[in-house]
Structure 1
Amino acid sequence: MYQCPKEGEIELQDGQLAPELAVKACPSCGGAWIPPENYADWQSSQIDPDEPIRVAVLPLSLSTPFQPAALDNRAALCPDCRSYLVRGRITLQQGSFYVERCPNCNGIWCDAGEWEMLHQLQLQTHIEYIFSADWQAQVRELEHTQRERQATVDKLGADIAQRVFELADILEQHPNGDFGVAYLMRRVDQ
């Protein structure tokens, strides 16, 4: 008998997130426990082993009506082995949400709506990537870039900031773009 990781007293019931992906679903919070063997079997039927893993880091500009579940920040225990679940953060324009995984058995917990979001973002077949140091570093870099862009808008206004962003993109792609940057720096310093 599996118990909900977020609402411990609720018993999980048989369910399905995708064709051929059986899960244990919580009738109360709407979350789903994906047993590791079920995910591994489903994943192997979804991906070509000869294709390299291509998981794009999500742009923070992605606009979606998705809102994290109310219990997203609650600590959770693996319904199988009772280990604490570790969290992998996914940052969207309107905030972050966390997918949880058991470090012991590799089972996965998705709060209500998270599987659909993973599918929309094409991350559902490589959930393990979300828990890698590479993913977390890319998330931090995206957050830094977003804060930097917002600071530019706050200081210069939306119209001028947009022009700066467009010019930065042009100069970044140009083989002599560094000359243009140096010119601008000299002009601004005068």
Structure 2
Amino acid sequence: MQCPKDKQVKLVDSTFAKNLSVKHCPDCQGSWIPADEYQSWQARQPQQQVEPQMLTQSVNVDFVQSPFDAKAALCPDCQHYLSRAKVHFRTPFYVERCMYCGGIWCDKGEWDVLAELGLHTQVAHMFSPEWQMRAREQELAEKERQATIDKLGPEVAAMVFKLADVLEKHPCGEFGVAYLMRRFDN
């Protein structure tokens, strides 16, 4: 079985934590997780709800995006193109999956980030349109938050965020928002 990213290199047997058998590329350091191995490993793991907000967690993983991440690839098992799901992490990356046989490709370091975030047991979920839409919304909200901090400074931005939370929870919060908008219309 050849590496989907570096087709000249043969994959070798390896394992991830907790006895998950994978095929590893000694050159690019990526790993192929066969669907049957992943499914049997996944069935032994505690099930947890996964949400795109998990991507904003602070994790202790030194991650540098692989130069092979942008490279399209074919499934090493069945030769279909691998689908890509963007992981909107601090340094975004793509996890790849064969939609025909269900195998998963992780470039170097990607599995470690998924495991640290608690997403490694639900990789297929990340390929759903709902997940991708919610992840994009989360990413946009984080960018908007950072833009607010950049424009107003951290102290004023903190007050704005606190006021927004208060008004959002208040039964007449929209009245407060309308008041502020009228103040700025003049």
Task: State the TM-score, normalized to the length of structure 2.
Answer: 0.91
Alignment RMSD: 1.7
Aligned 1:1-190 pairs, distance under 5 A: 2-47=1-46, 54-58=49-53, 61-64=56-59, 65-93=62-90, 95-190=91-186
**What is the aligned length?**
184
Structure 2: give runs of 5+ residues left out of the alignment.
Answer: none
Amino acid at match of 1:66: F
What secondary structure is seen at the aligned counterpart in 1 of 2:122?
Answer: helix
What secondary structure is seen at the aligned counterpart in 1 of 2:145?
Answer: helix
Distance 1:182 1:80 in 2: 58
Task: Spell out, residue by residue over 1:125-148, the C-alpha distance to the aligned partner (whole angstroms, 9 max, x if none).
Answer: 110011000111012211221232
Amino acid at match of 1:73: A
Contact 2:88 2:136 in 1 (8 A): no
Kindly state the Cα deviation for residue 63 of structure 1 after the two structures are TM-superposed: 4.5
Structure 1: give runs of 5+ residues left out of the alignment.
Answer: none
Contact 1:60 1:91 in 2 (8 A): yes
What secondary structure is seen at the aligned counterpart in 1 of 2:52?
Answer: coil
Distance 2:154 2:19 in 1: 48
Distance 1:66 1:141 in 2: 23
Moved runs in structure 1, 4+ residues, more than 3 A? Answer: 58-65
Kindly state the Cα deviation for residue 61 of structure 1 after the two structures are TM-superposed: 4.4
Distance 1:79 1:104 in 2: 12
Distance 1:138 1:157 in 2: 28
Distance 1:90 1:142 in 2: 11
Contact 1:81 1:105 in 2 (8 A): yes
Contact 2:21 2:37 in 1 (8 A): yes
